[in-house]
Amino acid sequence: MAYFRNDGCQLHYEEYGVGTPVVLLHGLGSSTRDWENQTSALAAQYQVILFDLRGHGRSDRPREDYSIEGFADDVLALLDHLQLPQVHLVGISMGGMVAFQLAVDHPQRLLSLTIVNSSPEVKVNSLASAMQLGKRWLFSRLLSMQSIGKMISQLLFPKPGQAAMRDQVVERWRLNDKHAYLASLDAIIGWGVRKRLPTIACPVLVVAADQDYTPVAQKAAYVAELHDARLQVIEDSRHATPIDQAQRFNAVLLEFLDNIPTKEQ
């Protein structure tokens, strides 16, 4: 475990392996432990950097408003702290949004971008989206973190054979700080950088689970707006693809990363 400070906040990160750096960003209410199934596979070839966004995991949980831009600034500070001029950046769900933000603000810092079950915007542009976001906003304020964890665990891992995965979600979710969780959720709603996607110059991999909350067609639509992007659909998976289809996800990610040229090559 290691720490550094940015904007008055102590932030936790972990490093494994050697080689070209790969930074992994977790989702809302999660932590570096999102990537347990990826760390060893990636560290055999790459320098793997796991990062707890502020308000999550072992990082500080300041009682203030959060923003996707602020999360991205913390990631940039991490790159500067580690003296990494360029990295492969991988983000799932909210972590994917943070990755998009960094990619449009500082495209020169990325060798590649991998987005997992995420989007470049969370806009209220229909009655259905308003109801979905409104329901999540309300339930998050009314329920305890453990109750939220139970609900989410059923959505992520509904199969009878996934009981251990459900139990893990509940156990980890209850450790979240309620204020930090709500501040992070508020940071997501209304955020967007979709109009700036053409500024992303690096190769992009978008991983879409076939049973994610949002349909594959929505991912395909924004992939078409990127200069150098491809869409990879992973079957029999929901929102937590690196967990419920770990081997398949690792193979797809490694195949993508292994074909990105670096300055050393």
Rounded to an integer, what is the distance from CA 62 to the centroid of its chain?
Answer: 20
| pLDDT tens digits along 84-100 | 999 999 999 999 999 99
The H or E element that residue 190 is part of is none
Tell me how far apart the alpha carbons of residues 103 and 69 are, in angstroms, rounded to a whole number: 11
The domain spanning residue 88 has which CATH number?
3.40.50.1820
Tell me the mean pLDDT in the region 176-187: 95
Backbone angles phi, psi at 260, to 5 degrees: -95, 120
Q: Specify if 205 maps to a domain.
A: yes
Judge whether 181 lies within some domain.
Answer: no
- For 103, other C-beta atoms within 10 Å of its C-beta total 27
CA distance 253 to 136: 30
Q: Per the domain annotation, does 224 fall within a domain?
A: yes
Task: Give pLDDT, residue 265.
Answer: 40
Task: Note whether residue 145 is domain-resident.
Answer: no
In a domain, 105, yes or no: yes
Q: Which helix (H) or strand (E) holds 206?
A: strand 204-209
Q: What is the pLDDT of residues 203-257, one digit of tens each?
A: 999 999 999 989 999 999 999 999 999 999 999 999 999 999 999 999 999 999 9
- Cβ distance 50 to 82 under 8 Å? no
Contact 88, 112 (CB under 8 A): yes
In a domain, 92, yes or no: yes
Judge residue 65's burial from the number of C-beta atoms within 10 Å of its C-beta, 0-12 exposed, 13-18 middle, 19 or more buried. exposed
Q: Is residue 198 part of a domain?
A: yes
Residue 264 has pLDDT above 50, yes or no: no
How many folded domains does the chain comprise? 1
Measured distance CA(257)–CA(135) in Å, rounded:
38
Q: How far is CA 127 from CA 23, 27, 122, 134, 260, in A?
A: 36, 25, 14, 10, 41
Q: What is the average pLDDT score of the chain?
A: 94
Rounded distance between C-alpha atoms, residue 96 and residue 118, angstroms: 6
Q: Is residue 184 part of a domain?
A: no
What range does the domain containing 112 cover?
A: 2-122+194-258
Overall average pLDDT of the 110-128 stretch: 89
Among residues 201, 26, 23, 184, which one has the least CA distance to residue 104? 201
β-strand partners of 205: 114, 230
